[in-house]
Structure 1
Amino acid sequence: MNTDDLILISVDDHVVEPPDMFQNHLPAKYKDAAPRVVVAEDGSDVWLYEGQQLPNIGLNAVAGKPHEEYGIEPTTFAEMRTGCYDIHDRVKDMNANGVLGSMCFPSFPQFCGQLFARTQDKQVALAMLQAYNDWHVDEWCGSYPGRFIPLALPPVWDPQLMAAEVHRMAAKGCRAVTFSENPEKLGWPSFHNEHWDPFWQAVSDTGTVVCLHIGSSSQLTITSVEAPINVMISLQPMNLVQAAADLLWSRVMTEFPLVRFALSEGGIGWIPYFLERVDYVYEHHQAWTG
């Protein structure tokens, strides 16, 4: 087969949300509370929400740039390739790269909607999160049907609301939802707790895939304060190795066997050793660990 004939489907892309994304999706009473883009003192474009400035990190928008220009410094929309935030230019870039379909993870709300979870007024939080999901499905993905895999954010502060949002988004054709690789690190119950059962049931009932992206616990593996950043970057996928072990030995897999997980940006090279290790644990330790 000629490589030009290959079709690529990318399930770990990212979107830099455009400044006008909330404009068409919020009830009038919430519009003044919506996140908005302002220019910071350093000249970068930042999202302003509840008094907090949330920068567009340069590393989230490196498409088309040489490696020498990568970095974590705040940036502006003008410095980005327009395909980072403009859906029409994104599709042009996808066509040029031979990418048929794409799933896009969020940027400023964080990977499982932690930003909205921190909102004091939870009615406002839910309105913002649902507006985000509606924009993502209706405008970002809906502008080019069949080219994008919709991905919803969950209202992680309330499992019943999570279940309702999974069903609401499934009715719109969205069959993927983000979640944390380790919710306990965010101050919520762990995978092993019954707290999340309404969510597991909802994703089981709707056939929705739960996507765990590295960094969705807001935790990084840092060996020491003296270690160079390369150490942290090298160990980032290990978050998902921990998540895989956590889930494999959890009640989720036995009590909700239809739940499907995607470990996003974790690679696959570790999987053979992981399988060997968990088999060893089962064969040698299950008798006493239960």
Structure 2
Amino acid sequence: MQVEDLILVSTDDHVVEPPDMWDEVLPEKWKSRAPRLVHKPDGTDVWVFEGQQVPNVGLNAVAGRPPEEYGMEPTALSQLREGNYEIGARIDDMNASGILGSMCFPSMTGFCGELFGKQEDKELAQVMIQAYNDWHIDVWCGSQPGRFIPLAIPMMWDPALLAEEVRRVAKKGCHAISFADNPTGLGYPSLHNDCWEPFWQACAEEGTVVAIHIGSGTGMKLQDTEAPVEIMITSTPISLFGCASELVYSKFLRKYPDLKIALSEGGIGWVPYFLERADYVYEHHHHWTHQDFGGKKPSDIFREHIITCFIDDAAGVRNRDLVGLDTMTWECDYPHSDTTWPEAPERLWKSLEGVPETEIHKITHENAMRHFRYDPFSVIPREQCTVRALRARAVDVDLSLKSSGGKAPAPADAPFVTIGHIIQQLSTAFATPFENDPGGTEGVPEESALERWDRN
């Protein structure tokens, strides 16, 4: 087997929503209240919804830029590679990196639909989340059969309504839904609260995977403003260690044997120690904590219920027997700065050195296909799904790095980028009250980004 023979399915990528998305899915009575993308006089594109703006249109969507320009930019569609938001260009980029399938987390809405969930008008919030899910399933995924694993966003404020949405989208072929690593971080009850019972039951019965992305509830760890930003980047994936602890000691996983949870962008190298520690704690302390796993260990619960994924994790692959071979999946993380695109096959191949071919297939695509009920081979012949076959379709795709403008996270004279610099850059990345003229160009009307997009 050679690198060109790999079949790659990524279980964690991201989509930057195109400005015309709401036109295709919203009922007419709600279109006037839809989020709209506005091009500001200062050159930025901002989503505006119910008096709030989300200024960073493509947070960390830096694929295709020179590495020197990485950061929490871009802030305008013009600074993005078209594969972020245009479906044809996305398929081209997937082909260029030999990637068959992709599961895409949202950008504008937040991982858990927070932009809508925090609205006081819950009817509006429900309409918008259902519209987003319909767009994602029917348009983004549906326009390219066999190339995407659909992922819904949740109605976090009402677990019963959320359960109904799980069942609704399952009928449309969607068997994955995002959720928070710590719902209390979004103002909702904890994972251990019985209020989530309808949701867990619906997911178990519909075969829907609960996809928990890093930073989805707890956010990123940004404590020491003087520390190098690499500390944050290094430690963020391992933040799911805490979420994994919550999960293996939860009641609901033991209650629903068919329920699956994906730890998205969490890596796998830490898993063997986590399982060892969890088992030690249970064995050492359960007599006084009154935990009862009914003859099982926490590591058994993890391997029965938790799906892991990794970008570039040679240590985890070497310890795949300890991680759990049947639950490991791979991710590309396009278009974020950790992505291995467009050299994803080559980077992964180094980690797979010495791994038997049958195990490679599990890691690269078979596990993802089974857990997420994704069957690309029913649409695309298997021989056309390899890295070799897909790259043959992309010989004309321009992969040269392009400077895209934007603002550097730190001053030119700063010795290195700190967490403080990133906090300052991120301060414009979250919803703030909409101002007619944040760019300071008084009297210049905002132009619809969709009008500008169409015009160009």
Matched residue type, 1:18: P
Partner of 2:158: 158
- SS at 1:115's partner residue? helix
Matched residue type, 1:76: A
Superposed counterparts of 1:208-223, under 5 Å = 208-223=208-223
Determine whether 1:49 maps to 2:20: no
How much has 1:226 moved relative to structure 2?
2.8
Determine whether 1:177 maps to 2:165: no
Partner of 1:67: 67
How much has 1:275 moved relative to structure 2?
0.7
Partner of 1:239: 239
How much has 1:122 moved relative to structure 2?
0.4
RMSD: 1.2
- SS at 2:150's partner residue? coil
Q: Contact 2:175–2:206 (CA<8 Å) still a contact in 1?
A: yes
Partner of 2:286: 286
- Alpha-carbon distance in 1 for matches of 2:177, 2:220: 22
Partner of 1:78: 78
Moved more, 278-287 or 53-62: 53-62
> Tell me, which stretches of 5 or more residues in structure 2 are unaligned?
291-456
How much has 1:120 moved relative to structure 2?
1.5
How much has 1:109 moved relative to structure 2?
0.3
Using CA pairs under 8 Å that are at least 6 residues apart, name the structure with larger relative contact order, 1 or 2: 2
- Alpha-carbon distance in 2 for matches of 1:93, 1:225: 36
- Normalised TM-score (structure 2): 0.62
Moved more, 139-148 or 211-220: 211-220
Moved more, 235-244 or 125-134: 235-244
- SS at 2:9's partner residue? strand
- SS at 2:24's partner residue? coil
Partner of 1:107: 107
- SS at 1:263's partner residue? strand
Partner of 2:332: none
How much has 1:283 moved relative to structure 2?
1.2
- SS at 2:230's partner residue? helix
How much has 1:185 moved relative to structure 2?
1.4
Q: Contact 2:60–2:71 (CA<8 Å) still a contact in 1?
A: no
> Tell me, which stretches of 5 or more residues in structure 1 are unaligned?
none
How much has 1:228 moved relative to structure 2?
2.8
- Alpha-carbon distance in 1 for matches of 2:227, 2:264: 25
Partner of 1:198: 198
- Alpha-carbon distance in 1 for matches of 2:94, 2:55: 26
- Alpha-carbon distance in 1 for matches of 2:250, 2:17: 35
- Alpha-carbon distance in 1 for matches of 2:223, 2:285: 29
Cα 1:70–1:130 change in 2 (3 A) is: same
How much has 1:238 moved relative to structure 2?
2.7
Q: Contact 2:57–2:108 (CA<8 Å) still a contact in 1?
A: no
Q: Alpha-carbon deviations, 1:26-49, whole Å to 9, x = none? A: 111111110000023431111011
Partner of 1:146: 146
- SS at 1:177's partner residue? strand
Cα 1:59–1:188 change in 2 (3 A) is: closer
- Alpha-carbon distance in 2 for matches of 1:21, 1:11: 23
- SS at 2:22's partner residue? coil
- Alpha-carbon distance in 1 for matches of 2:73, 2:65: 14
- Alpha-carbon distance in 1 for matches of 2:223, 2:76: 32
Partner of 1:256: 256
- Alpha-carbon distance in 2 for matches of 1:68, 1:110: 27
How much has 1:23 moved relative to structure 2?
0.4
Cα 1:54–1:218 change in 2 (3 A) is: farther
How much has 1:72 moved relative to structure 2?
1.2
How much has 1:274 moved relative to structure 2?
0.2
- SS at 1:60's partner residue? coil
Partner of 1:14: 14
- Alpha-carbon distance in 2 for matches of 1:160, 1:29: 25
How much has 1:58 moved relative to structure 2?
4.9
Moved more, 155-164 or 33-42: 33-42
Query: Rg bigger for which structure?
Result: 2
Q: Count how many residue pairs are aligned between Structure 1 and Structure 2.
A: 290
